[in-house]
A and B are shown apart, each in its own frame.
Chain A
Amino acid sequence: MAHAAFVVVAAIAVAAALGLVLTRNAIHGALFLVVNLGSIAVLYATLGAEFLAWAQVIVYAGAIMVLFVFAIMVLIPGKEETGPDPRRAWRLLALPAGALLFLQLLFAVGGGRGPAETAPPTAGGGVEAIARLLFTQYLFPFELTSVLLLAAMVGALLLARRKV
C-alpha cells in the first residue's frame, strides 16, 4: 500500500518535472512546477516530516511560485524561444551529459551502504522536534537566515527601483 502510494506520487513528480523542462510556454512550466512541489510535499509527509510538508506548501507553492507567476506575467516571455535555436547541437549534448550525471549520482548514493536501511523512526517530524533543534543546536544559522532574508529584501528593492 505504501509502496503503491509512493510509486504514484513519484510518477506524478517526475512527469511534472519533465513537463517543466519540455514545455515551451513558461506559464505552463510554472504550473507544472507547482504540481511537482505539491507531490514532493506529499513525499515529505510520507517520510514523517509533517512540518516540512506544510512549510513546502506555504513557502514554495504559496510564496515562491506566486513570485514566479507574477514575473512571468510581467515579462511575457512566451514569445521567446520560438525561433530556431542557434546552438541546438550544443544544447542536445545536455542529454548524454545528464544521463552520465544520473548514473554517477546513483553510483555515489548506492555505493555507500548506510547503517540500518529502515531505521525505526525514533524522532518525529512535528513542529516541536524541529523547533527544539532550530533554537538550540542550529540557533546561529537560524539567526543568520534572518539576516540573509533582510539582505535579499533590501537587494530586491534596490534592483527594482526605477531610477538609481
Chain B
Amino acid sequence: MVPESYYVGLSAILFTIGVVGVVIRRNPLVMFMSIELMLNAANLAFVAFGRRAGNPDGQAVAFFVMAVAAAEVAVGLAIIVTVFRLRRRLSVDDLSLMRW
C-alpha cells in the first residue's frame, strides 16, 4: 500500500506547477486551467488525508470542491468571453482595470 505522504507530496508538486502557471502565462484561459490544476491538487490531498483518517469525510469535501469548480468555470468563462467581445484581445496585461 502506497503511503499517503507520497500522494500529498505529488499534490504539493501539482499545486506548485499550477501557481507558477498562473503567474507566468498571459492567456486568461491557460491561467484558468492552471487554477483547475491547483484545485485538483488540493482535492488529491483531501482524499489522501481522508484515507489516513480512515473515514470518507475527505471525499465529501473533495466532492464539494468539484461542484464549486464547476460553478466557477461557468461564470469565469462567461466573463472571459464577455471581455474578449468588448476588447477583441485576450491578454491579462490589458485588464488592469475592473471598470472602464
Which residues of A are at the interface with B, using a C-beta cutoff of 8 A? 2-3, 6, 10, 13-14, 17-18, 20-21, 26, 29-30, 33, 36-37, 40, 43-44, 46-49, 51-52, 55-56, 59-60, 63-64, 67-68, 71-72, 74-75, 77, 80-81, 85-87, 91-92, 94-95, 97-99, 101-102, 105-106, 109-110, 114-125, 129-130, 133-134, 137-138, 141-142, 145, 148-149, 151-153, 155-156, 159-160
Is A36 in contact with B40, judged by CB distance below 8 angstroms? yes
Q: Which of B19, B56, B68, B84 contacts A98 (CB 8 A)?
A: B19
Asked whether B97 is an interface residue with its Cβ less than 8 Å from the other chain, the reply is no
Chain B residues positioned under 8 Å from A26 (CB to CB): 27, 29-30
Chain B residues positioned under 8 Å from A123 (CB to CB): 54-56
For this complex, into which size category does the number of interface residues on chain B fall?
Answer: 35 or more
Chain B residues positioned under 8 Å from A120 (CB to CB): 54
Q: In the complex, A105→B84 CA distance in Å?
A: 36
Report how many A-B pairs have Cβ atoms within 8 Å.
231
Which residues of B are at the interface with A, using a C-beta cutoff of 8 A? 1-10, 12-21, 23-27, 29-30, 32-34, 36-37, 40, 43-45, 47-57, 59-60, 62-64, 66-75, 77-82, 84, 89-91, 93
Q: In the complex, A152→B9 CA distance in Å?
A: 33
